Amino acid sequence: MATPTKAAKEPTWIVLDSSCWIEYLRDTPRADLFAAAAENPERLIVPIITVYEVTKKLRRELSTKVAAYAEALMCRGKVVDVDAALSRIAICHPLPMADSLIYATAQTHGAKLWTQDAHFEGLAGVKLFGKD
């Protein structure tokens, strides 16, 4: 008689905050902390505001070519646009605008937000990578 198998667990969705993407894309000493998520697009929820922040910073500080590479890499995940419903959720959080939208995106999609930003500390669904 065959043993019943457990249903495959759905992948856990992850949202990488802009600071995590920057660390990964610049291959800093902290890049490995975020590699598991960045290299698994089937698990990634990518807020469009994150795509904007990361590509703008890389274009300004490095080059258009590096920014285009970053955008292509990030867009392998599930990109989520800002709409009125997401905006209404974001305004309920005591965070700056972009961070509120990123957090609301994670919450709306049942994703864990990975971040280095201390102002997310204590919020539900956040994995904080402190910069001790």
Give the domain CATH number at 122.
Answer: 3.40.50.1010
- 44 beta partners: 14
Provide the whole-model pTM. Answer: 0.87
pLDDT score of 130: 86
pLDDT of the residue at 132: 66
Q: Structural domain of residue 36, as residue ranges?
A: 14-128
For position 48, what pLDDT does the model report?
A: 97
Average pLDDT, the chain: 91
| Residue of 130 and 79 predicted with greater confidence | 79
Residue 9 lies in a domain: no
Q: Is residue 56 part of a domain?
A: yes
pLDDT tens-digit map of 75-118: 999 999 999 999 999 999 889 999 999 999 999 999 999 999 99
Q: Rounded to whole angstroms, how far apart are CA atoms 72 and 74?
A: 6
What's the pLDDT at 7? Answer: 47
By three-state DSSP, how is residue 65 classified?
A: helix
Spatial contact of 129 and 33, defined as CB atoms under 8 Å apart: yes
Compute φ and ψ for 127, nearest 5 degrees.
-110, 110
Cα(60)–Cα(9) distance, integer angstroms: 41
Q: Exposed, middle or buried by CB within 10 Å (0-12, 13-18, 19+), for 109?
A: middle
